[in-house]
Amino acid sequence: MRTHPGRLAAAATAAALTLTAACTAGSSGSDQSTSGPKADAPQTIEVWHGWSADHEVKAFDDAVAGFRKAHPNITVKLVKDQTDDRITNAIRGGNPPDVVSSFTTDSVGQWCQSGAWQDLAPYVAKSKLDLNQFPKAVQEYTQYQGRRCAMPLLADTYGLYYNKALMKGEQPPKTMSELTALAKKLTKRKPDGTIEVAGFMPSVQYYEHVPQHVATQFGVKWLNDQGKANFSKDPAFKAYLQWNKSLIDWYGYANVKKFLRSMGQEFESSNPFEKGKVAMAIDGEWRTKFIQEEAPKLDYGTAPAPVPDDQTSRYGGGFIAGTVIGIPRGSKHPQAAWEFIRYLTTDTTALVTFANALGNVPTTITSLSSPGLTLPPQFQTFLQVFKNPNSSTTPPTPNGNDYVVKFQQFVQDQWEPGKVDMNKGLADLDTKVDKALDLAGG
């Protein structure tokens, strides 16, 4: 998947979309699992998904082939390149498709709360579907406050990539102090301080090094038990910020900014890790696929991302997110739609076919160990991270990932440049986040 919820621009858009979706009309509490034609009746269902590239579209079609064979009475019409705002507008207009999928797990809270996506509990119960076939973190990001309105369809997990040639025999770091020491050792500079090779670029503006992916390694608790902001009260956030700023300052903020301006595109062969300009980077499992295509001669390894020195028992976990799929309110064929969703999210052959084609993690425990997976050896790290009980995700809220967006803006615009006192800044951030949550009904 190329759309990742941790990225600031995508996160801001997702937050805006979820607020828009809150205005959808209609009841959110009715059981629609018995409406429309029975699943065994002849019918056509329309399925909207976000993939757009030719190989992605083909991958989705290939994954659906088994369903078509098993359910010849159901004609499946696949519609590619659909965004969250198109989905929202269709639901608001009372003319949605039968099945919708999204890359934006952060929107699940609002979709569940508003009823824009149907409650799937009645469907799950009637099918006697065992949700424990999905890892705990996956179960969490597909529901909100006990209301399940989504099912998981492939996942993104994050780990550490390292350039073996630049490492010169060094082992991948397991702790943050090891990461810091190795980052300094592997960094190469010009006499004026300009960074030629970064051992590790700590800035939140470096692609996937957003707080959602890195602060998670510090064991942060994003929201407290009451669902309110927790930035000023959780010592893990302060530990993350101190680590971030210490390495930023070692490089020199001006040098960091200069390096960031020189970077190539994330999803092109000019990516600095693929060009040997970065020795270590936290990235998603999909990078293995891009390296295979864009830098096939790159000698690299993967490992779980490091954790703080006093949390070594948590090593092996990482941040998890993924594509979600559900039935929108107003679906005209909800029973057939559920059969489609159940197949696509639980059938091992379908999941493995899809995962192989896209280079993403399949989302059931059985599919993770399927001999049909044909992904590169470096991909094994991400399968292990996905299964690790220490892996986690950001919790859903009524206004999507607004709290994540605000924290990243704080780190990027105030903390890294050294413009704010940490304690005061985090306290102010808590106030802003809580006001936004209150407005959204949180």
74-79 and 43-48 strand pairing: parallel
Q: What was the pLDDT predicted at 53? A: 84
Burial (CB < 10 A; 0-12, 13-18, 19+), residue 112, is buried
> Cα Rg for the chain, rounded, in angstroms?
22
Helix 402-410, helix 8-21: angle, nearest 10:
150
65's tokens:
């082939």
384 neighbors 304 (Cβ within 8 angstroms): yes
Mean pLDDT over 334-348 rounds to 98
**Which pLDDT tens digit goes with each residue over 282-329?**
999 999 988 988 999 999 999 999 999 999 999 999 999 999 999 999
**Which pLDDT tens digit goes with each residue over 260-269?**
999 988 988 8
Domains in the chain, ordered, with CATH?
Answer: 8-156+320-387 (3.40.190.10), 159-314 (3.40.190.10)
Burial (CB < 10 A; 0-12, 13-18, 19+), residue 225, is exposed
Q: What pTM was computed for the model?
A: 0.87
Share of the chain above pLDDT 90, in %: 81
Q: What is the mean pLDDT of the chain?
A: 91
390 neighbors 384 (Cβ within 8 angstroms): no
Q: Residue 325 forms beta bridges with which residues? A: 101, 151
Mean pLDDT over 188-216 rounds to 97
385 neighbors 213 (Cβ within 8 angstroms): no
**Which pLDDT tens digit goes with each residue over 135-152?**
888 998 999 999 999 999
**Which pLDDT tens digit goes with each residue over 230-244?**
999 999 999 999 999
Mean pLDDT over 352-360 rounds to 92
